Structure 1
Amino acid sequence: MSDFLGPVETSAETSGSYRRQDQTAVTFSNPAAAQYYVDGRTIPNVTFDAGPSWSGLMPISANPKESRKLFFWFWPTNNVSNARDLIFWTNGGPGCSSLEGFLQENGPISWSWGQAAPTPNPWAWTNLSNVVYVEQPVGTGFSQGTPDISNDDELAAEVFGFMEQFLEVFDELKGSNFYVTGESVHVPYIANYIYEHPTLDINLKGIWIADPSLSYGVVQQEIPALRFVQNNQNLFPFNSTFMAQLQNISDACGYTDYLENYVTYPPNGTLPLPPATNGTFTVTPECRLHSPIQRAVTLINPAFDVYRVSDTWPVPWSVLGFPRSTQEFIYFNRFVQDAIHAPHMTWTDCSTESVYINATTGRPGSDTSIPSTLSVLPDVIEKSERVVIAHGLADFILVAEGTRIAIQNMTWGGAQGFQTPIEPETFTVKDMGVYGHTHTERGLTYVEFYYSGHMTPQFVPWAVYQTVAYLLGKQPSPSL
């Protein structure tokens, strides 16, 4: 196991300068940076030197009266050869904290489900790049201010403003190769905004997004739901009567026909909405499959987790209280708040209030963005060196086959969808063998992981690590 985990790199502070494992110093000349410094030897509950980092609240504009501030935690790479690369990480939700990604997915400190205490993470993305974790939009995690956005273009403008202020404080990061990464919905909109506003002193090269919301719910949940159950019957052991009911719904609402006739390589044209929507983007009540399946499987598996369907009893606890509150305490509600310059408040992994408003009434609302495959993502792919979409095959909150449908209905680089099929068993992990499927065309790489649910860097960090190294141009293919 120690050979598999590999060496764990740490950093140390010496004589007032902060040094990587290779003894190169990490310094920032702007005196304002000092207020954000976190000593990696004194992070509560962490029994090893995690190395230097910087965290706190950063306003989203230069206005001295700006009340909207995003919380960030910046970690420098432990390898000086990667010092000109900067990864931006965000979780999705919307309104879910990026500190989840830091602590339980790809940060240098790992305190994942069921772990008694934090440990060094051998697959930390800081091995490959500098990484900044940002809690966004306003209303998420420790971030401060009153939500005032109604779509993800406005969300991206907040992030852009944050990055302007961040780069003024951490001036040495200006001109870095920049990569926007994360889970769920926001990543393409952030990248698109940066491409459309080239004043940010950063060199955006591409994006990486896992288990994303790319299209409407009918596409990524309802249409593929029954086939997902059929392909995983050992985890969805429904009786024949209920399976027949599900099949009848799938047939009557056009899902069965859709999968058999419309999803082709290459596509035969724009993919229509199924009859279940009656020409709108909302599924009619009698055509809902995803929620009834989830309710039914929970009856026979009380530990069922929509984020990773292979979970069974006992339920693993999480120090962040996500996805279930079975823990003794929530880590970021303890005295760690002082250590990372966070405001004293009750932190939650995902906001219980909407982070969007209704633009007409000003009251809490929902995201009005057009799905990214039908709006901003094609342009982002064409402007990027590499774009990676990854998906865990054990995720049921967003189904991998639905992501395939969304890709086949997207036009980029002069063509619609992938022109040739995604071949099985084409993604391999070094020393482990076949670990899923992958396909690349016209600047877009799609990867599906075995063993993984929604949070791919948490469940299969060794496999994800390869795809991020590929994104950064550090290996020629996502497979090894």
Structure 2
Amino acid sequence: MEDAMDIQREQIERMRDFLGPTTDAHSNPSGQEKRQRGGKGSTITFSNPAAKKFLVDGTKIPDVKFDAGPSWSGLMPISGAKNETRKLFFWFWPTNNPANTKDLVFWTNGGPGCSSLEGFLQENGPISWSWGQAEPTPNPWSWTNLSHVLWVEQPVGTGFSQGAPSIANDDELAAQLMGFFGQFLEVFSELKGNNLYLTGESYAGFYVPYIANWFYEHPGLALNLKGIWIADPSLSYDVVQQEIPALRFAQANKNLFPFNSSFWAQLQQISDSCGYTDYLDKFVTYPPAGQLPLPVATNGTFNVIPQCRIHSPIQRTIGVLNPAFDVYRISDTWPNLWSVLGFPRSTQEFIYFNRCVQTALHAPHIEWQSCADNSVYINHTTGGMGRDQSIPSTLSVLPNVIEKSVRTVIVHGLADFILVAEGTRIAIQNMTWGGAQGFQTPIEPESFTVKNMGVYGSQHIERGLTYVEFYFSGHMTPQFVPWAAFNTMSYLLGHQDSPSS
């Protein structure tokens, strides 16, 4: 026991190193510490006087006890029309590396209707206030180490963004975002001509490919789109990414799904009768034998018949056994960590973006929500709320995006149960791009590595598409394994020849 306790103390010290530089508000940091914290002049300045009203003083961000450096945030309209009421909220941060000023990374969260400020504060921004943290700390894996980064709350109806939703599909979403970029680049014109990389997670599996496809097919944006990066993305129908792989996932993680034998038998009966049990072994081959069929569970449609639902019964039952169960990361157990954003936890003391930070960020004084209560899509026929009418990206626009991009990167956490990695493999193997269907050779296990850590998952690269699976990670990969996600972003931007390091 003494040895184990000593090793645990060593681990605590190692974790402190992972949190980055200390943030004692009363200390007088050295020049090197200031550089690590971002407390220095910006690597870019803007000549348009209109940019000044968006400037955020990095020494005056509430509750942040270190100089985070200058940034720019506020509302930007989606068009130049005088009566335009639809505005998207953005937060732009310059890179801290002068060698990377010709790149611009755009980030969006998913939902649909979830705020990109979640990604900023708890995933890949220069300020980290993740689950369980008492206060913000500098993020040593901030993507601003690699590029300028622009976090945008979109579409209209998300976060601080203003106006009434008016889109029914993601082509319309992309057109509005292109309008936003046009207005944004008039104010921040020094960014014109930069390389652009579109990134996001979850429902961004719809957003990002549709945005990229729109930008490629509608030239005129004063940026050079080079590629996309999407994490744990929604790429196909729920039957593909939830139902088919659900039982195999639970069986592979039995210590976290400790069901009794009778419930396992019930699940097996559903799996057998609905065509899930042998689906991956039979159809997900390298190369594929042809288009992958829908299982009998859909009865010839894209919707699962009620008696074939297996993902929801698993999730409900494990939630009884583990009160802290988190579909976004199945390894979470009691006690329940709090989140300063209230997502996905409900034990927060306050919601950060509902405090005085609204004034500092030039945000409207409203009740901010991490995810919108109402739909961000409308029904054009009725004028009321609707659902996204877009076809999943692997079956529509993603092949064109892969073929037109320098690099396309898809990553997936292996502890994610809201969208299962094996379902993403199905979606990829059913997609045709670059003259062939799916990956032609198998994804090799233990092929993704992280420097000083060793094997961290698997990777595969074919015909412009890179796919990486991460150990230890749930749905929000830049939050759960930021060092691994950072590697893949560095690869996307061309800073390294392989996702591995």
TM over 0.5: yes
SS of the residue 1:436 aligns to: strand
How many residues align structurally?
471
- Residue 26 of structure 2 aligns with which residue? none
Give the Cα separation in 2 of the matches to 1:12 and 1:272: 55
- Residue 332 of structure 1 aligns with which residue? 353
Give the Cα separation in 2 of the matches to 1:3 and 1:213: 34
Give the Cα separation in 2 of the matches to 1:270 and 1:211: 23
Give the Cα separation in 1 of the matches to 2:103 and 2:20: 23
- Residue 189 of structure 1 aligns with which residue? 210
**Amino acid aligned to 1:150:** A
SS of the residue 2:353 aligns to: helix
Question: After alignment, is 252-261 or 242-251 more displaced?
Answer: 252-261
- Residue 211 of structure 1 aligns with which residue? 232
Match of 2:143 among 116, 125, 130: 125
Give the Cα separation in 1 of the matches to 2:250 and 2:319: 13
Offset, 1:4: 5.4
- Residue 155 of structure 2 aligns with which residue? 137
Query: Is the aligned partner of 1:101 residue 2:119?
Result: yes
Query: Is the aligned partner of 1:287 residue 2:305?
Result: no
- Residue 220 of structure 2 aligns with which residue? 199
Query: Is the aligned partner of 1:260 residue 2:278?
Result: no
SS of the residue 1:204 aligns to: strand
Unaligned runs of 5+ in 1: 14-18
Give the Cα separation in 1 of the matches to 2:309 and 2:38: 52
Question: After alignment, is 362-371 or 406-415 more displaced?
Answer: 362-371
Superposed, 1:76-475 pairs within 5 Å as 76-184=94-202, 185=205, 186-475=207-496
8 Å CA contact 2:141, 2:482 repeated in 1: yes
Offset, 1:5: 6.0
- Residue 53 of structure 1 aligns with which residue? 71
**Amino acid aligned to 1:220:** Q
8 Å CA contact 1:192, 1:380 repeated in 2: yes
**Amino acid aligned to 1:223:** I
Give the Cα separation in 2 of the matches to 1:306 and 1:155: 28
8 Å CA contact 2:89, 2:161 repeated in 1: yes
Q: Map Cα deviations across residues 218-244 of structure 1 (whole Å, 9 max, x no partner).
A: 000000000000000000001111001
Give the Cα separation in 2 of the matches to 1:319 and 1:327: 5
Q: Map Cα deviations across residues 399-435 of structure 1 (whole Å, 9 max, x no partner).
A: 0000000000000000000000001000000010000
- Residue 30 of structure 2 aligns with which residue? none
8 Å CA contact 2:20, 2:137 repeated in 1: no
Give the Cα separation in 2 of the matches to 1:331 and 1:66: 29
Give the Cα separation in 1 of the matches to 2:190 and 2:444: 43
- Residue 16 of structure 1 aligns with which residue? none
8 Å CA contact 1:10, 1:78 repeated in 2: no
Q: Map Cα deviations across residues 131-160 of structure 1 (whole Å, 9 max, x no partner).
A: 000000000000000001111111111111
Matched residues, percent identical?
A: 76
**Amino acid aligned to 1:413:** G
Offset, 1:257: 2.8
Give the Cα separation in 2 of the matches to 1:125 and 1:11: 13
Question: After alignment, is 1-10 or 442-451 more displaced?
Answer: 1-10
Query: Is the aligned partner of 1:35 residue 2:35?
Result: no
Offset, 1:306: 0.3
Give the Cα separation in 2 of the matches to 1:11 and 1:241: 56
Q: Map Cα deviations across residues 317-360 of structure 1 (whole Å, 9 max, x no partner).
A: 00000002211100000000000000000000000110011121
Give the Cα separation in 2 of the matches to 1:242 and 1:72: 47
Give the Cα separation in 2 of the matches to 1:10 and 1:203: 30
TM-score between the two structures when normalised by the length of structure 2: 0.93
**Amino acid aligned to 1:354:** S
8 Å CA contact 2:76, 2:89 repeated in 1: yes
Give the Cα separation in 1 of the matches to 2:130 and 2:17: 21
8 Å CA contact 2:73, 2:89 repeated in 1: yes
8 Å CA contact 2:20, 2:138 repeated in 1: no
Give the Cα separation in 1 of the matches to 2:130 and 2:46: 31
SS of the residue 1:235 aligns to: coil
SS of the residue 1:205 aligns to: strand
**Amino acid aligned to 1:39:** D
8 Å CA contact 1:187, 1:209 repeated in 2: yes
**Amino acid aligned to 2:92:** F
SS of the residue 2:277 aligns to: helix
8 Å CA contact 2:19, 2:138 repeated in 1: no
**Amino acid aligned to 2:37:** T
Offset, 1:305: 0.3
Unaligned runs of 5+ in 2: 1-13, 22-32
Give the Cα separation in 2 of the matches to 1:350 and 1:391: 22
**Amino acid aligned to 1:448:** E
**Amino acid aligned to 2:59:** R
**Amino acid aligned to 1:419:** Q
- Residue 29 of structure 2 aligns with which residue? none
Give the Cα separation in 1 of the matches to 2:97 and 2:281: 49
Give the Cα separation in 2 of the matches to 1:387 and 1:75: 23
- Residue 37 of structure 2 aligns with which residue? 10
8 Å CA contact 1:59, 1:70 repeated in 2: yes
Q: Map Cα deviations across residues 6-54 of structure 1 (whole Å, 9 max, x no partner).
A: 67723446xxxxx14xxxx531001110010000000000000000000
8 Å CA contact 2:412, 2:468 repeated in 1: yes
